[in-house]
Amino acid sequence: MAQSIVVGACPHDCPDTCSILTTVEDGKAIAVRGNPDHPFTRGRLCVKVNNYEERVYSDQRVLYPLRRVGPKGSGSFARISWDEAVGEIAARWKAIIAESGAEAILPYSYLGTQGIINGLNVGDPLFNKLGASVSERTFCDSASCTAYMMTIGHTPGVDPESFVHSKYIILWACNTLSTNSHHWPFIEKAKKSGAKLVVIDPVRTRTAALADWHLQIRPGTDCALALAMIHVVIKEQLIDRDYIDKHTIGFDELAARASTYTPEFAASETGIPAEDIIRLAREYATTPPAVVRIGVAVERHAGGGQTVRAIACLPALIGAWKHVGGGLLQLPIWAFPVNWPNLMRPDLQPAKMRVINTWRLGAALTGDLPEGPPIRSLFVYNANPMAMVTEQDRLERGLAREDLFTVVSEHFLTDTAKYADIVLPATTQLEQKDIMFSWGHLYLSYNNPAIAPLGEAVSNTELFRRLAAAMDIDDPFFLRSDDEMIEASMDWTSPALRGISLEQLKKTGFARLSLQHPDEWAPHRDGNFPTPSGKCEFKSSIAEGGNFVVPLFRQGYGADQAGDPVDPLPHYIAPNESPMTAPAEAERYPLSLISPKSHALLNSNYGNLPAQQVLAGEQQMVVLHPEDAASRGIVAGAPIRVFNHRGSFEAFATLSADVMRGVVVAPAGYWHRSNRKGATVHAVTPPAYADLGRAPTFSDVLVQVATA
């Protein structure tokens, strides 16, 4: 028996980007395990990925191109050849372009794989060259990134490994043990060395349960808390005057602004007692090194952007950045010198093409469009909108349109793929080659393919090579091999890659970026914030230019197409939908619904696979406070209906006092089709944007719950 170990990297849209060792026997992957040599992976894979070979060899895999033979959405398909599939796509697109213009074609993608060459941008050059509508991907962390950029710039922030030196750690809207679990050992080590761990979350999650102090907060009110912390540290002179004078701008204006946000005001918004808010501010300011780790969830409300603006001001106010293990951690992805323009090629667009936001897919497909032709063809890859975007009923109506030509590249017949006219088989990470950034640590990774592609599955890079050829594009850029694409994907002259060679990377599978050691690194000890002023901007000069989407990999409205001007000082924006801000609506729909990540699913990945279904359940579950359940006659395990004026879905009730009263939790990622009444949480979520970066507000929503 020929056995070998192949080093690769986890493809998922997750901060941890683990180094994976795959055992291959006679060409078949028989096991995967975490690489013990990787300082962040430390030999452990999570419950989603530790049986990845079962995903690869699942009998549900799509392994051949398929053409729809039944009605739309029926899931009846027949096998066709790649030549037929690509030929049909090219013929349909050429006809659409001739009749309606290329903007009638809409690509739609996200991070099914996070690989730099197969991931987010793999289709951008082709669609840009065709002049298709541009999909603006503000799926994740877009308000947060915009706010972060306005305040401290595109800095990696605190090295996640430096947390071992922290003495005060705030996990703010971040469920580390479920969504960033390889960061936990560093937090645990800090705790063992005496650090205090504070978790701010409406839910006593498995992470909050291990905290020294859990502050339960009403969803979407975090900005009031952050501003009140600013108020207290300034009023009580807990600030670092020297750091502020040298490395910040706008302190006096911030102080004036914060004076109105008293702990009492924040208490009335957040539900956290004023004494606790004062205590939190005092402890945070006087226990160095103090660090805040924000989760993506903090942005999913009307004021999500300003929340991150306010939080990002805190570390500079108290001089936290002076210490190793002090400051703020958001997405260290900014440290990776990825050659985004080369991956996206916006320069190939024949003109500035129409932009359609991912959150408006249902609207766009049902004719509610900014301008230009109706969408006649949708091309989905690396994404599952039926499970992950709002206005589910509208999206379903759009996908069911007989005149819409839909192509989906997938591993499985997802809820979205079921509506396709053509389904194309995609390889998994074990079958493809890639280079990977991380948004949770500072190691560059290389994924060696472990096995040959199954069936006729192809990588996304190969898919787009085939499509470009079929669309008669002869630019050699579209013919490049994976190796050539990997070579061009990074700026190898960047100081961050000093001493790292691709050859070596292929062998080791990972390399730490060339940055100071986590035991020594305090990136903003001496200021040097990558903002226009070089300082932490309490008063943002970028805000004066208007609301925009941080261009990094997202495509869409960059700073050159910014929207309305933004107040340059942090300010509180209350949730759109809460019993306090929408009392009339709350009479009918009194409960605040949030839809965080599921522990055992990765967005909608694994929602169809048996091992993860055992942990997450096959069907949507909803967690309610026992008193909220009792007053509605709901018992544990009962089928319930969750509804508002937008729609409804059914689920099974879990009762737990871990959830704040008045809040219901419907974890995201369950498949539509395995659910009662074929709907999930996005049947009730709103299409409104948050204040910055056109981020979603899907955890800013009121619902009612009743027995089904």
Ligand X SMILES: Nc1nc2c(c(=O)[nH]1)N[C@H]1C(S)=C(S)[C@@H](COP(=O)(O)OP(=O)(O)OC[C@H]3O[C@@H](n4cnc5c(=O)[nH]c(N)nc54)[C@H](O)[C@@H]3O)O[C@H]1N2
What type of residue sits at position 631?
Answer: S
Are 434 and 115 in contact by the 8 Å Cβ rule? The answer is: yes
Pick 240 or 415: Cβ nearer ligand X: 415
Residue 201 binding result from Mo ion, ligand X, none, given CB thresholds of 5 to 8 Å by partner type:
ligand X
Residue 93 binding result from ligand X, Mo ion, none, given CB thresholds of 5 to 8 Å by partner type:
none
Residue nearest to Mo ion (CB): 140
Contact stretch for Mo ion (CB under 5 A) within 139-147, 398-406, 524-532, 581-589: 139-147
Pick 595 or 644: Cβ nearer Mo ion: 595
Q: What is the Cα–Cα distance from 17 to 46, expressed in whole angstroms?
A: 11
Residue 412 binding result from Mo ion, ligand X, none, given CB thresholds of 5 to 8 Å by partner type:
ligand X
According to DSSP, the β-strands at 443-447 and 510-512 are: antiparallel
Residue 171 C-beta: closest distance to Mo ion, Å: 17
- Which burial class, exposed, middle or buried, applies to 367 when counting CB atoms under 10 A from its CB (0-12, 13-18, 19+)? exposed
Q: What is the Cα–Cα distance from 265 to 274, expressed in whole angstroms?
A: 8
Q: What residues form DSSP beta bridges with 702? A: 592
Q: What is the Cα–Cα distance from 302 to 572, expressed in whole angstroms?
A: 10
Does 140 help bind Mo ion (rule: CB under 5 A)? Answer: yes
Interacting residues with Mo ion between 617 and 646 (CB under 5 A)? none
Q: Is the bond leading into 289 cis (omega within 30 degrees of zero)?
A: yes
Q: What is the Cα–Cα distance from 168 to 176, expressed in whole angstroms?
A: 16
- How does DSSP classify residue 109? E
Pick 17 or 216: Cβ nearer Mo ion: 17
- Which burial class, exposed, middle or buried, applies to 631 when counting CB atoms under 10 A from its CB (0-12, 13-18, 19+)? exposed
Residue 604 binding result from Mo ion, ligand X, none, given CB thresholds of 5 to 8 Å by partner type:
ligand X
Which segments of 118-237 does DSSP mark as H helices, in order?
Answer: 124-130, 142-151, 176-179, 184-192, 222-235
Are 668 and 597 in contact by the 8 Å Cβ rule? The answer is: yes
Q: What is the Cα–Cα distance from 564 to 314, expressed in whole angstroms?
A: 26
Residue 253 C-beta: closest distance to ligand X, Å: 26
Residue 39 C-beta: closest distance to Mo ion, Å: 24
Residue nearest to ligand X (CB): 112
Are 234 and 579 in contact by the 8 Å Cβ rule? The answer is: no
Does 389 help bind Mo ion (rule: CB under 5 A)? Answer: no
Residue 62 C-beta: closest distance to ligand X, Å: 9
Tokens standing for 278?
């004062």
Q: What is the Cα–Cα distance from 618 to 467, expressed in whole angstroms?
A: 36
Residue 700 C-beta: closest distance to Mo ion, Å: 17
Residue 691 C-beta: closest distance to Mo ion, Å: 19
Interacting residues with Mo ion between 676 and 695 (CB under 5 A)? none
Residue 173 binding result from ligand X, Mo ion, none, given CB thresholds of 5 to 8 Å by partner type:
ligand X
Residue 596 binding result from ligand X, Mo ion, none, given CB thresholds of 5 to 8 Å by partner type:
ligand X
Pick 157 or 596: Cβ nearer ligand X: 596
Are 596 and 667 in contact by the 8 Å Cβ rule? The answer is: yes
Pick 120 or 267: Cβ nearer Mo ion: 120
Residue 470 binding result from ligand X, Mo ion, none, given CB thresholds of 5 to 8 Å by partner type:
none
Residue 602 C-beta: closest distance to Mo ion, Å: 10
Residue 603 C-beta: closest distance to ligand X, Å: 3
- For residue 53, the SS3 value is helix
Does 197 help bind Mo ion (rule: CB under 5 A)? Answer: no
Q: What is the Cα–Cα distance from 246 to 533, expressed in whole angstroms?
A: 12
Residue 388 C-beta: closest distance to ligand X, Å: 4
Binding site for ligand X (CB under 6 A): 13-14, 110-113, 118, 139-140, 172-175, 178-179, 200-203, 205, 217, 219-220, 222, 295-298, 301, 381-385, 387-388, 409-412, 414, 426, 460, 594-599, 601-605, 668-669, 681-682, 685, 698-699
Q: What is the Cα–Cα distance from 353 to 364, expressed in whole angstroms?
A: 15
**What is the contact surface with Mo ion in residues (CB under 5 A)?**
140
